[in-house]
A and B are shown apart, each in its own frame.
Chain A
Amino acid sequence: MTDVFSDLLVAEELRGSLDHCVKCTICETQCPVSNVTPLFLGPKYTGPQAERYRVADQPSVERSVDYCSGCGICTQVCPQGVKIAEINAQARNKLKRQKGVPLRDRIITRPTWLGRLGTPLAPLANLSLRLRPLRILGEKVLKVHRDAPAPAFAGRRFSRWAHKRTSPKTGRRVVYFHGCGTEYYEPWEGEKVVAILEHNGFEVEVPKQDCCGLPLQSSGLFDDARKVVLRLARALAPHVRDDDTIIVGNATSCTLMLKREAREILALADDPDLKLVSERTYDICELLLELHDRGELRTDFKPVEEHIAYHAPCQQQGHWIGKPALELFALIPGLQVTEMTARCCGIAGTYGLKAEKYDIAMDVGRELFSQVEASGAATVACDSETCRWQIAHGTKRPAAHPIDYLHRAYGLDG
């Protein structure tokens, strides 16, 4: 599964799509990175064009693809169906094999290691993340930018809470995939997801689980990413072997990894467990909106008198389901929502943490930050945790998952 031969096969499958490229440049108009820096030549140049010069067993000639953040917007907007972002992810992997992988990329792509280490030492770890001299040292030694947004460890793990309790038996089972952000940094988000699902009659099951491998994949560490995502698929699949149980997650980039990216980018399309998990996985807002469409969502919402800005993260847009959060917000009386049209906050998972890419990420995010400020909204809603941390960093406003507002509107916050 992980040999060079299957890598080439998946590369061939993705490469096949580049013949559909008519060089219309729509991807170039939408790329958040190449529009702010000359260091990335742009999705069309590094993708469909440079790909023609990438030959197996020969060094990759195009190095700017390392500056692609992997946001996936190019693939989403391409009117011809070219898998631009996926081709570029493959090229990044090839470049990493050629140039070697910095120690930094081996560390920051392992949220589980960081989480397990940081959680018991939370007060100390959080303090060190805020100590300027240590951050400068971290930048010098590890090449993690001193100003990059660093979330605080919660000091407790979501799964400990979840495993201590039992969801009321309703016979309507749902499997909850909480991801690492909820596990180590924002366990309260998971508690809210569980509360909302239970409020709507679901019996929530939280299997033992681990990272989805997305940070490894987006940094070009494919072999490690495969091991990690398959381990997760093996953990989740046994819980959904019946006909209709689904998996729901609030980490939108991680659910996208399970749904599509691992299968397309990591050559894992044929793994039966991952295929099952992929077909069964829902983003939380996607699920709630479908319930509403079927008349099955409880709408006992109390007014939430607040003005918020909503940013749909790139990875959420990669689900190809529109912006379900906006439709859900419309059900909450009193809630005033301004939709942000800027495409990307810049962080792209771990991209904006890297010392050489931090400034680019902030430049990418600038349009979003100024839209948030112009909106006059007090808080920002956004489906992805790393994006929320970047937005909070860039706008000095609190950022929360869309389910926070639903949770409040349901009156579940006590």
Chain B
Amino acid sequence: VRSELHFDAVVIGAGTAGLVAATRLAEGGARVCVLAKGVGSTHLAPGTIDVLGHAPARVDEPGRAVGELVAAHPDHPYALLGVDAVGEALAWLAERIAAGPLPGYRYVGSLERNHLLPTAVGAVRPSALVPETMAGGDLRSDDPVCIVGTRVLRDFHGALCAANLAKAGIAARSVEVAIEVDRADANAVGLARRFDDPAWRASFAAQLAPLLQGDERVGLPATLGSKDPHGAWADLEQRLGRRVFEIPTLPPSVPGMRLFEVLRSSLRGAGGRLILGAAVASADRADGRVAAVNAHAAGRDVRYVAPSFVLATGGFASGAIELGSDWIARDTVLGLPLRGAPAPGEQRFVREYLAEQPMARVGVAVDAQLRAEGAENVLVAGAALPGAVPWRELSGEGIAVASGFRAASTILSQATAGATA
């Protein structure tokens, strides 16, 4: 007894890179299936598409800065992708979001200029493509900001955020609104469900309005609704008569969940399958190719056979890449060769935690077309790629979107070429 299913392409991983690749494949007519151990990075990331934020100085023009980065780092994922491909992928994603299941919800921005968005601790995040609901917080504008905190959301301190912004020379202050919840505290998702309710929103706005001054714009934790965030945001702007913007929170990330929902819905709409819980346990490899992967299902493994695979499993954070006690890094999913690890004897880590860690550039070795070394029908996308340090560069989502898009395009053009031949 052996369970076996056939697809045109199998994508491993349900983060941004995997969902972009799968959606694009499905739209291109491929029978595609996404296999994932669980929900991916979307629910943890801020939901912005950061292309390049630091290089290492703050980046204002991401398109131009990517070009410079590519020239200096030929091993960087952007060097394989090219800046035009990044722009194309971003435009595609923005269209999917605008046409998605959340009415009116859209992303704004381009590779021309980065937005400068406040983070939850009042730092500045340069980001290329951001939810419209966040764009009002752009600190390139001099308008004063008022950050609204609430005690029940313990991961978001309005006073801390405003104080740090003020230190950076931004006119910022904070106010607090009391919210009643039926438990000790609330997380961002719980709060977002409340903002879905128009009556609740109205009473929140009524409580907040008298606390605001002058021409302040209003920064709120990114919890303005899960079902109709555009409606909730526009409603608050209208009720308060001023600009309102969301500030990404610590996980769980409501804007990230919205992005997941957009991509999931686009994938399903295009006929793709998404299987959560199906952790890939092993692969059948022969002649430099992966013939099939075996994924856990209840009772037995299921063999997924396809001519092409996309490996979008992430890096160290997701557990897809692991550093053993023998100091050897491994791809825990398909066991493919890695690149970017410091050579024996070289420094692997430096003392300062968030500094440029030499080990951080490790990823699955690929050629210029993102084909994995030793498995020519496996295309690699997202944080599994070597050569980037996304949390320092603020480049993770840009790489994920552009490489997922590219991996899918490569598979689709191969299929077309094969059909023509």
For chain B, the count of residues having a C-beta within 8 Å of the partner chain is: 41
Minimal Cβ-Cβ distance residue in B for A278? B299
> Which candidate, B134-142, B269-277, B388-396, is the interface stretch facing chain A?
B269-277
B189 at the interface (CB under 8 A from A): yes
Given contacts A79-B318, A339-B268, contact A28 B189 (CB under 8 A): yes
A294 to B299 Cα, complex, angstroms: 21
Given contacts A259-B299, A317-B276, A320-B276, contact A26 B3 (CB under 8 A): no
Q: How many residues of A sit at the interface, in one of the four size bands?
A: 35 or more
Minimum C-beta distance from A413 to chain B (A): 29
> Which candidate, A70-78, A143-151, A298-306, is the interface stretch facing chain B?
A70-78
Given contacts A35-B189, A260-B299, A293-B6, contact A29 B257 (CB under 8 A): yes
**B187–A79 touching, CB < 8 Å:** no
**B4–A293 touching, CB < 8 Å:** yes
Minimum C-beta distance from B323 to chain A (A): 16
Q: Mark B267-291, 1 if CB is under 8 A from A, else 0.
A: 0100001111111000000000000
Most A C-beta atoms less than 10 A away, residue of B5, B193, B268: B5
Given contacts A28-B189, A281-B299, A320-B298, contact A79 B40 (CB under 8 A): yes
A259 to B301 Cα, complex, angstroms: 11
Residues facing B in A257-307 (CB within 8 A) are 258-260, 278-281, 286, 289-290, 293-294
Q: List chain A residues, Cβ under 8 A from B102.
A: none
B351 at the interface (CB under 8 A from A): no
Given contacts A24-B43, A77-B39, contact A279 B277 (CB under 8 A): no
Q: How many A-B pairs with Cβ below 8 Å?
A: 109
A246 at the interface (CB under 8 A from B): yes
A208 to B274 Cα, complex, angstroms: 37
A256 at the interface (CB under 8 A from B): yes
A321 to B275 Cα, complex, angstroms: 6
Q: Mark A72-104, 1 if CB is under 8 A from B, else 0.
A: 000111111100000000000000000000000
Q: List chain B residues, Cβ under 8 A from A77.
A: 38-39, 276
B44 at the interface (CB under 8 A from A): yes
Q: List chain B residues, Cβ under 8 A from A29.
A: 43, 187, 189, 252, 257
Q: Among A30, A81, A279, which residue has its beta carbon within 8 angstroms of that of B37?
A: A81
Q: List chain A residues, Cβ under 8 A from B154.
A: none
Given contacts A26-B38, A244-B1, contact A317 B298 (CB under 8 A): no
Other A-B contacts than A26-B252, A79-B36, 4 sampled, CB-CB below 8 A, are A26-B38, A79-B39, A290-B4, A323-B273
Q: Which residues of A contact B (CB under 8 A)?
A: 20, 24-26, 28-30, 35, 38, 41, 75-81, 243-244, 246, 256, 258-260, 278-281, 286, 289-290, 293-294, 317-323, 327, 339, 341
Q: Which residues of B contact A (CB under 8 A)?
A: 1, 3-6, 33, 36-40, 43-44, 182-183, 187, 189-190, 193, 251-252, 257, 261, 265, 268, 273-279, 295-300, 302, 318-319
